[in-house]
Structure 1
Amino acid sequence: MTTTPETTAPHADDLPDLTGLIKAYDVRGVVPDQFSPDVARAIGAAFAEVVVLADGADAVVHPDTGRPFVVIGRDMRPSGPELGAAFAEGVTGRGVDVELIGLCSTDGLYHASGALGVPGAMFTASHNPARYNGIKMCRSGARPVGQDTGLSAVRDLSSQYLATGVPVLAEGRGEVTEREMLGEYADFLRGLVDLSGIRPLKVVVDAGNGMAGLTAPAVLGTAGGLPALPLDVVPLYFELDGTFPNHEANPLEPKNLVDLQAAVVEHGADIGLAFDGDADRCFVIDERGAPVSPSAITALVGLREVAREVAAGRRPTVIHNLITSRIVPELLTAAGARTVRTRVGHSYIKSEMAEQDAVFGGEHSAHYYFRDFFFADTGMLAAMHVLAALGNARSADGGPVTLSRLAESYEPYAASGEINSRVVDVPAARARVVEAYVTQQGAGPVVVDELDGLTVSHWDDQPRWWFNLRPSNTEPLLRLNVEAADDDVMTKVRDDVLALVRADSAADGS
């Protein structure tokens, strides 16, 4: 087959720089300045070449056409339809079919990729503000496409296509069709966690005008035609609106949890659930309106999955990233699991999940990964596990247990949360910390590792503490996480490290 460029090559000075758009884990940038339909078209063609056609394992053919095909989904951002259509043009121009599954959560796209056995692309900028959009890509079976697993090659080829014109086959172009997958997604999740026998729970769900406004009624309610569950769901901001009129769909920011916290208390709810824009992350609020740490959720859900595996006579493996609480490996190891510590970032955890055949994985950013969900992350499945644990928990006298009490044993330590510092000279700031804590050992003998940034640990001696200092991939930022056995020690270590990081610079915390 012959190919012709679809567009005239632009002048070199007009070419967009894709290094700031195509990052370590995904594509994400401002529309249209960084991310335009022309760029999406070039990325689509490169995705077809690098992910679909270059890897025979990913070239699953469509039963009707005999051509390889991919699935494409999108969130509720206004720019999604145009960018998705341009991406699909790039894909079909390389002789690959496209099935559009329309509005969905990112884990809904992963389900489609896993269930159909084909690569996928999800148009979303997750929790970013409305002016952003992006793409999360995966290989067949929801396997990750990250910097080391194809994304850098997609970036390089996309840049080439933007310079020379996006190639299109003269004959044998792919076709675009539509497919509804929401019902299958909801049914699949219902089959993994049985909520039918739990005690009745009142649940406030804050969708943040994101995709949980579509998926929560389908999975937790009866919108998808499934049987009713003993859940009284109080909806908060379920209207799909990519301009985020109520608050940004970023539950990592405490200000975006305020409405949910108030609603939980106002309605006398048992639990609150907050999802980010593409609904692949879930944050949990207890009955008092207090956030439950994602590390605590990692331990709670991990113990459920470990117990199931141990009961079946298997020794399970659980993955956790290096900024999760130390309670996670402590509890899971005691329960019979093997724990594996990994770098921060979903592509790293997904790869490790598959390589280790891990039953579960958790990140302190509230991404939760399941072997039963194609080793991919899903906020909804994590939420269902928490609902099952809460709905089945009983006190010594047989009465119901509140979420705050249930979570107590999973949050014994004091944590700082992630603190970002913008610094003038990142290496110099890091060097000051190394000099004080590692070279001089001013706080006592420590264990040091550099799996991801700098981790300094005094956990095997008193007082118990550790911290991790990681640079941003794209900005002059250092990210600090501190944990200690009590608040006083955590505060001291946090403040001492921040003083070193921010010394002699125009630093400001964010």
Structure 2
Amino acid sequence: MPAPVDLSALIKAYDVRGTYPDQLDARVARAIGAAFADVVVLPEATGTPTVVVGNDMRPSGPELVGAFADGLTARGVDVVLIGLCSTDGLYHASGARGVPGAMFTASHNPAEYNGIKLCRAGARPVGQDSGLTQVRELAGRYLAEEVPVVDAPGTVREEEMLTEYATFLRSLVDLSGGRPLKVVVDAGNGMGGHTVPAVLGTGAGLPELPLDVVPLYFELDGTFPNHEANPLEPANLVDLQAAVVEHGADLGLAFDGDADRCFVVDENGDAVSPSAITALVGLREVAREVAAGRTPTVIHNLITSQVVPDLLGAAGARTVRTRVGHSFIKAQMAEHDAVFGGEHSAHYYFRDFFFADTGMLAAMHVLAALGSQPHPLSALADQYQPYAASGEINSRVTDVAAARARVVEAYVTQQGAGPVEVDELDGLTVSHWSSHPQWWFNLRASNTEPLLRLNVEAADEDVMEKVRDDVLGLVRQEEGA
């Protein structure tokens, strides 16, 4: 019997991600489709086993989708192809149809990459602890031994779901009554160029909204000719920031390649922190729940600003802090029946959206909040970003454990900075927030590289810079130096 093919470089903790065609080609996609059928789809099917499959604008998408569908049908699973869509569009299809799904995308990665995000029925995630490890192992065996074909293979059909997706989102946030807004949208040649006209315009045949949308790079092009579709990098926001000022717009929105993340800039072209967006959107969702007599729960990861638990807690919510990463957030969202969840990476999760993340729905909440009052976004956002933050700073170190130990010795063992609270939920978090001066930092090791990631926040800029520089000095200090 041939040894299974090792797919560990391709199928990782949360999804499938690799270069095409040397890591991910049609043969591999077919094996993964068959393994997904056997591990997830068939054991959980309550009727005819069915999977919805979509893809972004990368040129390799159609070929890989076809092969993946062939692997599913070989194992007796029906396939519904919804074609070009955003990742949250695929989550909507999975949630609305109550069937598992697969989205072919490499998100913000460069053009030579592609990948697959898998989910169970209802858009529930499939990660390394919830089936992805078993999918990887079985796909490796299928590559070595060939996929067995059942006597009654599944069928393939196509279905358009963009209109239903847009209609569903419009039902969750009413944008019709706000003041007119001009908004520049940078789709980065990604799927935002497909979804924004449908949701915020009249592309899906929906009523016109009081929005003047100025499109930037709406042409679908998986080679990303203008800039990478990764708004987390400041360089990729420059065009949007300039366009907002040039057009005198009220705000700007930037979507990543698969349009499941959304970044916001104000009328001055200044970036609004994703933590501030988490607080703004969270307060809207909390107010709705409190008005209905419920005590809502909101999830946030541990590197979001302290403003999130401060403001949402004061508004009547219970806040739950979790590890970084969408699979952890989604698990906590479902466990706590949370109304909303936010990450500092600009992923936003909604109970009303199958506990999944959707950049478009978050953008709609921002538009609704801005349009319902007379002030500019800069003034509105200032209420939600009162503290000074370092942003995530990466340090490449030769000995991660030793660098971390130096920080523990200085801040925990010696407690030279005074009384601190320490936890290791995800890396090392040291907090001095209950005393003055107020600050906290988180130091996390990368799972794949010899990197330490530092995030610092403080009540004022000087304190933040001092803590940031002190911790970085310890992290980057070589042994014996």
Name the TM tier (shorter chain): over 0.9
User: Which residue of structure 1 aligns with residue 308 of structure 2?
Assistant: 328
User: Which residue of structure 2 aligns with residue 3 of structure 1?
Assistant: none
Measured against aligned partners, the alpha-carbon deviations of 1:191-236 in whole angstroms (never above 9, x if no partner) come to 0000000000000000000000000000000011000000000000
The one-letter amino acid paired with 2:237 is L
User: Which residue of structure 1 aligns with residue 393 of structure 2?
Assistant: 419
Deviation at 1:166, TM superposition (A): 2.2
Deviation at 1:362, TM superposition (A): 0.4
2:175 aligns with one of 195, 199, 210: 195
User: Which residue of structure 2 aligns with residue 18 of structure 1?
Assistant: 7
Runs of 4+, deviation exceeding 4 Å? none
User: Which residue of structure 1 aligns with residue 88 of structure 2?
Assistant: 107
User: How do 1:124-273 residues align onto structure 2 when only pairs under 5 Å count?
Assistant: 124-169=105-150, 171-273=151-253
CA contact (8 A) 1:212 1:278 kept: yes
Secondary structure, counterpart of 1:54 in structure 2: helix
**d(CA) in 2 for partners of 1:481 and 1:22?**
28
User: How do 1:307-326 residues align onto structure 2 when only pairs under 5 Å count?
Assistant: 307-326=287-306
Secondary structure, counterpart of 1:18 in structure 2: coil
User: Which residue of structure 1 aligns with residue 431 of structure 2?
Assistant: 457
User: How do 1:357-368 residues align onto structure 2 when only pairs under 5 Å count?
Assistant: 357-368=337-348
Q: TM-score, normalised by structure 2?
A: 0.98
User: Which residue of structure 1 aligns with residue 412 of structure 2?
Assistant: 438
Measured against aligned partners, the alpha-carbon deviations of 1:308-357 in whole angstroms (never above 9, x if no partner) come to 00101111110001000000000000000001111111111111111100
**d(CA) in 2 for partners of 1:48 and 1:375?**
23
1:402 aligns with 2:382: no
Secondary structure, counterpart of 2:172 in structure 1: coil
**d(CA) in 1 for partners of 2:354 and 2:407?**
40
Measured against aligned partners, the alpha-carbon deviations of 1:275-334 in whole angstroms (never above 9, x if no partner) come to 000000000000000000000000000000000001011111100010000000000000
Secondary structure, counterpart of 1:198 in structure 2: coil
Percent of residue pairs bearing the same amino acid type? 80
CA contact (8 A) 1:60 1:118 kept: no
**d(CA) in 2 for partners of 1:220 and 1:430?**
47
**d(CA) in 2 for partners of 1:475 and 1:99?**
38
CA contact (8 A) 2:81 2:158 kept: yes
Deviation at 1:443, TM superposition (A): 2.0
User: How do 1:1-16 residues align onto structure 2 when only pairs under 5 Å count?
Assistant: none
| Unmatched runs of 5 consecutive residues or more in structure 1 | 1-8, 62-66, 394-399, 506-510
**d(CA) in 2 for partners of 1:131 and 1:469?**
31
CA contact (8 A) 1:60 1:117 kept: no
Measured against aligned partners, the alpha-carbon deviations of 1:215-263 in whole angstroms (never above 9, x if no partner) come to 0000000011000000000000000000000000000000000000000
User: Which residue of structure 2 aligns with residue 35 of structure 1?
Assistant: 24
Secondary structure, counterpart of 2:448 in structure 1: coil
User: Which residue of structure 1 aligns with residue 35 of structure 2?
Assistant: 46
CA contact (8 A) 2:5 2:141 kept: no
CA contact (8 A) 1:16 1:34 kept: no
User: Which residue of structure 2 aligns with residue 473 of structure 1?
Assistant: 447
Deviation at 1:359, TM superposition (A): 0.4
CA contact (8 A) 2:337 2:351 kept: yes
Secondary structure, counterpart of 1:488 in structure 2: helix
Secondary structure, counterpart of 2:125 in structure 1: coil
**d(CA) in 2 for partners of 1:109 and 1:119?**
10
CA contact (8 A) 2:439 2:459 kept: yes
CA contact (8 A) 1:279 1:379 kept: yes
Measured against aligned partners, the alpha-carbon deviations of 1:92-147 in whole angstroms (never above 9, x if no partner) come to 11100100000000000000000000000000011111111111111000011111
**d(CA) in 2 for partners of 1:469 and 1:286?**
30
2:263 aligns with one of 270, 280, 283: 283
Deviation at 1:436, TM superposition (A): 1.4
Measured against aligned partners, the alpha-carbon deviations of 1:79-104 in whole angstroms (never above 9, x if no partner) come to 11111111111111110010000000
**d(CA) in 2 for partners of 1:201 and 1:60?**
46
Deviation at 1:31, TM superposition (A): 1.3
The one-letter amino acid paired with 1:33 is D
Measured against aligned partners, the alpha-carbon deviations of 1:459-481 in whole angstroms (never above 9, x if no partner) come to 11111111111111222221111
User: How do 1:296-307 residues align onto structure 2 when only pairs under 5 Å count?
Assistant: 296-307=276-287
Deviation at 1:60, TM superposition (A): 4.5
Secondary structure, counterpart of 1:274 in structure 2: strand
Query: Which is worse superposed, 431-440 or 341-350?
Result: 431-440
CA contact (8 A) 1:354 1:375 kept: yes
2:53 aligns with one of 72, 79, 88: 72
Number of residue equivalences: 479
C-alpha change, 1:60 and 1:77, in structure 2 (3 Å) is farther
RMSD over aligned CA atoms reads 1.2
1:293 aligns with 2:267: no
1:504 aligns with 2:478: yes
Deviation at 1:33, TM superposition (A): 2.0
The one-letter amino acid paired with 2:381 is A
**d(CA) in 2 for partners of 1:428 and 1:38?**
43
The one-letter amino acid paired with 2:102 is A
The one-letter amino acid paired with 2:441 is F
User: Which residue of structure 1 aligns with residue 328 of structure 2?
Assistant: 348
Deviation at 1:16, TM superposition (A): 5.1
Query: Which is worse superposed, 287-296 or 83-92?
Result: 83-92
| Unmatched runs of 5 consecutive residues or more in structure 2 | none
